[in-house]
Structure 1
Amino acid sequence: MKATWNGAILAESNKTVVVEGNHYFPADTINKQYFRDSDTHTTCFWKGVASYYNIEVDGQVNKDAAWYYPSTKEKAKNIEGYIGFWKGVKVEA
């Protein structure tokens, strides 16, 4: 699977985990130069507290376009630390 936005490859892996229709990428498969920490946090009742990244490519910013769970609840341990995408990021094989 490959995650792209604004012409840049954000992540690429054949070991994504699919949860609720979203592909979660292992943390070591992202291209970190495009990721900036965000102050945004949300809570999922069964996964836990999510943290976000802003994606920045060629001076354009896609706010909170990637998220991850640094410490999940028990039922979501398989995606702990993995990164998911939305807000126009294309995820395809």
Structure 2
Amino acid sequence: MKAVVGDTVIAEAPQEDLIQIEGNWYFPPSSVKPEFFSESDTQYHCPWKGDTQYYTVTVDGQELPDRAWTYPTPIPSSFDRVGKDYSGYYAFWKDVRVVD
């Protein structure tokens, strides 16, 4: 599967390596192309997953603030609910399409 902005692939991995949580596909850290990501100051705390790290996605000079996020150190009890350790996996929002 691929995470795409326009025609640019910003992450790519086989579907079996991804994790789906609450309707979002989470890509393993090794599948993400870091040159497109810069850390954001946006803060969010999910009561069952923990604290996020948001990222601005920049493609062809277009900045898309907070369009990607990770849970760098999720709440350990969430692994039971998800079925796997998803620490550092990336999910995407608006403007970033996840396609086969």
TM-score, normalization by structure 1: 0.94
More strand by share: 1
| Aligned residue runs from structure 1 range 5-84, under 5 A | 5-14=5-14, 15-77=17-79, 78-84=85-91
SS at match of 1:33: helix
Match of 2:82 in 1: none
Where do 4+ consecutive residues of structure 1 move more than 4 Å?
none
Q: Secondary structure of the residue that 2:77 maps to in structure 1?
A: helix
RMSD between superposed Cα atoms in Å: 1.0
Cα deviation, residue 41, structure 1: 1.5
Distance across 2 between alignment mates of 1:43 and 1:79: 16
Identity %: 40
Unaligned stretches of 5+ residues in structure 2: 80-84
* TM-score (ref. length: structure 2): 0.88
Cα distance in 2 between the residues matched to 1:8 and 1:67: 18
Shift of 1:52: 0.5
